[in-house]
Amino acid sequence: ILKDYARTPGWFGRLIAPILIWREYSALVRLAGLQGVPSLHRRLDARGLLMEYLPARPWPSADAPDAAYARLRTLVDAMHRRGIAHCDLRAAGNMLVDDQGRPYIVDFVARVQRGARWNLPWNWLYRQFVRADESALAKLRVRYAPHLATAADRQTLSTQGPLERIARAIGENTRSLLRYFVRSR
């Protein structure tokens, strides 16, 4: 898959696109070898990168088996252990599943990376985004597999804190901006 902002016009293409590519690139480097995350083939330039094609469909359009939900949870936990919070898992299109029930996570533009041990404020913020990812998994179970949803899932969704709302807003605004500027070519 080619992710390329080379034709994006104006200031977005010159200033924002390189930041977005760097964010995706650095997340894919940190998550290299993690089954369920696309492999990075190479960074083309400041506005493009080439990554693995994943033979899967977005979660909402796939009939994911129950086991896929547990596998997705394992994948998200592994991603968090490597220090990456996705921050946009509420967009169900960022979670894919193949015909064998293997989950995949894509689009790491909105990600937050855990900081150095001494950086307590940043790491506190990182933990909030990890909680937002966990809330997104609860939402996924409640919406697409209600028989797998727990009382804790429903409680999580009913008591979202301000940072979870901020995380959701960042994801939504990032998607909206990308759609606007990529379509304006």
Any idea which residue has 């693995």 for tokens? 52
Is a pLDDT exceeding 60 seen at residue 184? no
Tell me the β-bridge partners of 50. Answer: 2, 42
CATH class as words, domain 56-184: mainly alpha
Q: How far apart are CA 96 and CA 102, in angstroms?
A: 8
Amino acid at site 151: A
Q: What is the pTM of this model?
A: 0.84
pLDDT tens readout for residues 106-162: 999 989 999 999 999 999 989 988 988 999 999 999 999 999 999 888 888 877 666
Torsion from C-alpha of 118, 170, 92, 129, nearest 10 degrees: 20
Q: Domain residue spans in the chain?
A: 56-184
Q: Give the model confidence (pLDDT) of 80-112 as tens digits.
A: 999 999 988 988 789 999 999 999 999 999 899
